[in-house]
Amino acid sequence: MRFVILGAGAVGGVVAGRLDGAGADVALVARGAHLEAIRRDGLLLREAGGDSVHRVPAYASPSAVDWRDDDVAVLAVKGGDTHAVLADVPRGRPVVCLQNGVANERAALRRFADVYPVCVMLPASHLAPGVVVAQCAPVPGILDIGRYPSGTDAVSADISASLVKAGFHSVVRADIMRWKYAKLLMNLGNAVEALCGRVDGLDEAAAPLRAEGETVLYAAGIPFVSLAEDRARRGDILQLRAVAGVERAGGSTWQSLARGTGNVEADYLNGEIVLLGRLHGVPTPANETARRLVVAAAQRGAAPGSLTPSDFLAEVARAAHP
């Protein structure tokens, strides 16, 4: 089994480096300066326990990969890139969705029979070409996996075993989407963190987003694990640790603004709740406001911290009571 990691950013890069370090067969797809740095110097994985360099095959696109029959395609791109990436993956491969959000699996199932969602709990960052940082140690992340829409099989068990060998916590779950919907609720606050920066008051500003999200999921009849179940799964496994010379970054949306990428994945996080709200007649002004504001911030090149939490809540109030 070879893991072809499609998207070597924070999560994809850390997983690739860890798998390679554990002896797995790994190839990467990256782009731009990041790809050039990996080809020239290798992928630098920075961790609290030390740095490691991983010289693995790196390609500019899925169509350039020398695909093999035993390859597993691992999607580690933002939701907005999923359709384009899948179009260049040969049919018949297992597809692993190492991504936030819940729309990627459905998109993959249109083209591929064997789709494997992963609930990603992996604090990581990618702010410089060729470099990814694992922010937790000694366990870098929790990566539970199952089949989509439900169930387990030998492939999911093999992938989980490879992740465990690479130092991650991973169990195989027949109800993996319950966990991914719970993670979606947590990720709704990513937009607020990006808009406001890592400041006091984020929990209060993000609370309306989660409340709307839970209401929408109940209305849609979509099950998700409780906060208590989620906390029990995490336990004390994920321990944030300082990495020498690296300031701890915010979440994935914060990092997109910090890198000035011009786009964020809010359409597939907050936008998922907005979509479900429209389908089931549930107002979602807080999530629509967060989606709209962070997308606009990305498009104009704003850095994290362009609003205060009170500014954001005022925007939500205006949207709820125009």
Percent of all residues in the chain with a pLDDT value above 70, rounded to a whole number: 100
Domain assignments of the chain as residue spans, ordered by start: 2-174, 179-223+245-320
Is CATH 2.30.30.40 the classification given to domain 179-223+245-320?
A: no
The mean pLDDT value for 69-92 works out to 96
Q: Residue 197 — very low, low, confident or very high, per pLDDT cuts 50/70/90?
A: very high
The mean pLDDT value for 171-185 works out to 98
Is residue 226 exposed (0-12), middle (13-18) or buried (19+ Cβ within 10 Å)?
A: exposed
Could you report the per-residue pLDDT of 113-152, keeping only the tens digit for each?
Answer: 999 999 999 999 998 999 999 999 999 999 999 999 999 9
Q: Residue 267 — very low, low, confident or very high, per pLDDT cuts 50/70/90?
A: very high
Is CATH 3.40.50.720 the classification given to domain 2-174?
A: yes
Does residue 249 register a pLDDT over 90? no
> End-to-end alpha-carbon separation of the chain, Å?
55
Average pLDDT, the chain: 96
Residues 283, 316: Cα–Cα separation, whole Å: 12
